Chains A and B, each alone.
Chain A
Amino acid sequence: DTGVSQNPRHKITKRGQNVTFRCDPISEHNRLYWYRQTLGQGPEFLTYFQNEAQLEKSRLLSDRFSAERPKGSFSTLEIQRTEQGDSAMYLCASSAGHNNSPLHFGNGTRLTVT
């Protein structure tokens, strides 16, 4: 079980720059999720894919955020024109195809915008 893999683990960027994060889910999982977590809070849902289709996006996901899962395997989350408020841990999770199957999380990418 290779688990969910996220890269990079840490990213420090200057305000206004673009950043891209990658998530490799568990290979047999067709569902993939992105969450954001700030210090002392639980994860906040950002977006969800079933295979390559992006089925749901949170209102938290502004126009500067875009996520893709082009072949239904790995996913990327891009943030354009980063702002200091984007500093957070970005978590990726995957799950099997049936409802209420548990989510398996990666270790996250910690973004710091200076």
Chain B
Amino acid sequence: AQSVTQLDSHVSVSEGTPVLLRCNYSSSYSPSLFWYVQHPNKGLQLLLKYTSAATLVKGINGFEAEFKKSETSFHLTKPSAHMSDAAEYFCVVSGASNYQLIWGAGTKLIIKP
């Protein structure tokens, strides 16, 4: 069975400093992993996805994530935070089919000026 744990419910960083949002997963087979972002009162937008190709995945808006099988992690990073990055971020692991997506509880990213 698959599961996903986002280790922090809130992360607060200053503008211009690095961002790290942590995600650990559990899967009985090679998973596909995704990060989605949700701005207030908006739908979810795909940031990046991992589907068993390169372990370092680059996404939109300067975000990237590294798949580490040995650590069962898929942490999201960005070198320098921008005020517009303030949002909720969801780590997602797929099951056998698209609809069998297992969603993390979300991490709210707060950017301090």
Which residues of A are in contact with B by a Cβ distance under 8 Å? 4, 6, 31, 33, 40-45, 48, 55-56, 91, 93, 95, 99-108, 110
State how many residues of chain B have any CB contact under 8 Å with chain A. Answer: 23
- The answer to whether A42 touches B98, judged by C-beta atoms less than 8 angstroms apart, is no
- The answer to whether B90 touches A100, judged by C-beta atoms less than 8 angstroms apart, is no
Which of B94-113 touch A at CB < 8 Å?
Answer: 94, 96-101, 103-106
Within 8 Å by CB of B46, from A43, A55, A91, A102, lies A102
Number of A-B contacts (CB under 8 A): 57
Residues from chain A with Cβ under 8 Å of B103 in the complex = 42-44
- The answer to whether B49 touches A102, judged by C-beta atoms less than 8 angstroms apart, is yes
Within 8 Å by CB of B104, from A42, A44, A93, lies A42
Residue of A nearest to B49 (CB): A102
